Amino acid sequence: MKLPSTLRRDLGTLLIALGLVFAWNSALLYPLKLVVVLFHELGHALMAVATGGSVASLSVGADESGEVRSLGGNAILTLNAGYLGSLVWGLALLVLTRRPRLSRVAAAALAGLLVFVAAVWARPVFSFGFIWVLVAAAGFGVLARFANDAVATIFLRVLGLFSVLYAVGDIVDDVLLRPGSPSDAAFLAERTGVPALVWGFGWAGASLAAVWAVLWRTGR
140 within some domain = yes
Lowest average pLDDT, out of 19-28, 66-75, 141-150, goes to: 19-28
216 within some domain = no
pLDDT-based confidence at 55, cuts 50/70/90? very high
10 within some domain = no
Q: Work out how many domains the chain is built from and give that number.
A: 1
Q: What would the mean pLDDT of 162-183 be, rounded to a whole number?
A: 82
pLDDT-based confidence at 7, cuts 50/70/90? low
53 within some domain = yes
Q: What is the pLDDT of residues 8-20, one digit of tens each?
A: 666 677 788 888 8
- Using omega within 30 degrees of 0 as the cis cutoff, is the peptide bond preceding 182 cis? no
pLDDT-based confidence at 220, cuts 50/70/90? very low
Whole-number pLDDT of residue 192: 94
Measured between alpha carbons, how far is residue 111 from residues 29, 33, 69, 196 in Å? Answer: 20, 17, 22, 34
Q: What is the pLDDT of residues 102-161, one digit of tens each?
A: 999 999 999 999 999 999 999 999 999 999 999 999 999 999 999 999 999 999 999 999
Phi and psi of 24, rounded to 5°? -55, -40
> Is residue 113 within 8 Å of 133, Cβ to Cβ?
no
- Euclidean distance between the first and final Cα of the chain, in Å? 20
Whole-number pLDDT of residue 208: 85
129 within some domain = yes
- The percentage of the chain sitting over the pLDDT mark of 70, rounded to a whole number, equals 91
36 within some domain = yes
Alpha-carbon gap, residue 35 to 32, rounded angstroms: 5
What is the Cα gyration radius of the chain? 17
45 within some domain = yes
Q: What would the mean pLDDT of 178-192 be, rounded to a whole number?
A: 85
Measured between alpha carbons, how far is residue 42 from residues 71, 122, 168 in Å? Answer: 15, 11, 17
> Is residue 192 within 8 Å of 216, Cβ to Cβ?
no
pLDDT-based confidence at 51, cuts 50/70/90? very high
Is the pTM value of this prediction over 0.85?
A: yes
Whole-number pLDDT of residue 1: 45
113 is in which domain, residue-wise? 27-163
Lowest average pLDDT, out of 66-75, 92-101, 116-125, goes to: 92-101
Q: What would the mean pLDDT of 50-76 be, rounded to a whole number?
A: 96
Strands 66-71 and 54-60: antiparallel
pLDDT-based confidence at 82, cuts 50/70/90? very high
> Is residue 43 within 8 Å of 84, Cβ to Cβ?
yes
